[in-house]
Amino acid sequence: MDPSPPIFGLVCAGGGAHGAYQVGVLKYIHEKFCADKRSPFQVFAGSSCGSLNTSFYAAESHHAFDSRLLLEELWLGFHVPAYHRSALKSMMISSFRHWRRPKDRATWSLLDPAPMRAILQKGFRRKNLERAFDCGSTLGIAVAATELVSGRACWFLEGPRASAWNIFHSLGVCAKIEVDHLAASCSVPVFLPPVKIGRYYFLDGSVSLVKPLSAALSMGASRILSIATDRPLPLALPEYESRFRPRISHVIRMLLNRLSHDSAWDEITEIQTFNRFYEALSRKSKNRENHALPAPLFHDDAKPSDYQPVEVFQFSPSRRIRDSFGIAENPQSLPRKKTRFMFHKRFIRELIDLGYRDASSRHDDLGAFFAPSPKARRRWLFFMRRRRA
């Protein structure tokens, strides 16, 4: 058995309006798996739209069952027609807005950041986050952003388990999380302006994030639920429709798709490899006489037997949401409308319902993931191995 109770982490990827899918999944989880009305998660990390969802539950973790419908209402009220009008009209309006702006305001952007900031201000309650820290229902929160000049991934961290780091793939900075951090994480380049935090400007966290689980791991999460906003790309290259011709719009949309690429799949493979490797090494030193508390993996005094395996449950939609833009898995299918900025109430409703149905269909798997007993946990790991086979 584990020497201490597991710490559950929640990691949510970016994806614009597709983040509504995560709302449906989390709605079901907090409806069925809240203990004493608290969230089953203690560590929260997110990027882009995922930072809105994770920060909400980080602040409401002490009464997550009662507040589970508030996030749904927030997303359903996020109806912004300006976010899906024609690009030419958006450019003309944005240029006029930029010409009239005060000199100390942000640079030019295709979309007005005011609607997004208004949603963030409604969804993130700083006082509630402090209350969650005080009662111990939230142990850490992390928000990912990209520094404008260097392009480096930065995690803004806060909580009892938050600690700064500076390693090759990202920078961990301890800070008091505010709406500006969430706005920076959601600022898609060109479409939304950079956000100034301290002396630096930051953009969408998904741009540079290659280790989306790193912040949750650094804060001690031993079981992580990672929720994607779309299915992973097929292993084979897609088939082109006979009428397909490349346009500049395809290049732009491909770049937008890459912005929301979820690297969690690759990181999970690395974690599983580490689990097997250190488990084999630790067998040789399990019978040591010194029974001191284990040291963190990257600590100078860490030993193989100190390594604690990490379990990751990667949750993704049962069907693809992302637009194919003229390149379809089914050559007969027609290209669909862009969906990343489709903040229509009907579309958001469909995504929330899809997330709720997907979570309901995997109730037993989620139950095994949240179960505290080692027996239930082994069943979950066996299930995951079978799915990968």
Instruction: Give the tens place of pLDDT for each residue, 331-387.
Output: 333 334 567 777 788 889 999 999 999 999 999 999 999 987 554 444 444 344 444
Q: Taking 80 as the threshold, does the pLDDT of residue 137 lie above it?
A: yes
Strands (E), the chain: 8-12, 43-47, 140-147, 153-158, 165-167, 170-174, 195-197, 200-204, 223-227, 239-240, 311-315, 327-328
What's the confidence (pLDDT) of residue 333? 38
Q: Taking 80 as the threshold, does the pLDDT of residue 106 lie above it?
A: no
Q: Taking 80 as the threshold, does the pLDDT of residue 66 lie above it?
A: yes
What's the confidence (pLDDT) of residue 331? 36
Q: Which of 13-17, 97-101, 337-341, 354-358 reaches the highest mean pLDDT?
A: 354-358
* Cα–Cα separations (whole angstroms), residue 102 to 75, 93, 183, 251: 30, 16, 20, 33
- Measured CA to CA, the distance from residue 109 to residue 69 in angstroms comes to 32
Average of per-residue pLDDT across 313-331 = 63
Average of per-residue pLDDT across 48-66 = 95
Q: Give the number of other CB atoms < 10 A from CB of residue 379.
A: 17
Comparing 197 with 253, the larger pLDDT belongs to 197
Range name among 193-207, 321-335, 366-380 with the lowest pLDDT average:
321-335
Average of per-residue pLDDT across 163-175 = 89
Comparing 24 with 324, the larger pLDDT belongs to 24
Q: Taking 60 as the threshold, does the pLDDT of residue 81 lie above it?
A: no
- Measured CA to CA, the distance from residue 53 to residue 75 in angstroms comes to 10
Q: What is the largest CA-CA distance in the chain?
A: 72
Mean pLDDT of the chain: 78
Query: Quick one: what percent of the chain has pLDDT higher than 70?
Result: 68
What's the confidence (pLDDT) of residue 240? 83
pLDDT-derived band of residue 238, with 50, 70 and 90 as boundaries? confident
Retrieve residue 221's tokens.
């999460």
Retrieve residue 299's tokens.
């600590």
Range name among 55-59, 218-222, 286-290, 384-388 with the lowest pLDDT average:
384-388
Determine whether 247 is exposed, middle or buried from the number of CB atoms within 10 Å of its CB (0-12, 13-18, 19+). Answer: exposed
pTM of the model: 0.78
What's the confidence (pLDDT) of residue 191? 80
Q: Taking 60 as the threshold, does the pLDDT of residue 132 lie above it?
A: yes
Q: Taking 80 as the threshold, does the pLDDT of residue 98 lie above it?
A: no
What's the confidence (pLDDT) of residue 62? 95
Q: Taking 50 as the threshold, does the pLDDT of residue 162 lie above it?
A: yes
Average of per-residue pLDDT across 30-37 = 92
Retrieve residue 78's tokens.
């996020």
Comparing 217 with 182, the larger pLDDT belongs to 182
pLDDT-derived band of residue 88, with 50, 70 and 90 as boundaries? very low
Q: Taking 90 as the threshold, does the pLDDT of residue 158 lie above it?
A: yes
Comparing 122 with 270, the larger pLDDT belongs to 122
* Cα–Cα separations (whole angstroms), residue 63 to 242, 295, 389: 54, 33, 39
Q: Taking 60 as the threshold, does the pLDDT of residue 12 lie above it?
A: yes
Range name among 110-114, 135-139, 299-303 with the lowest pLDDT average:
299-303
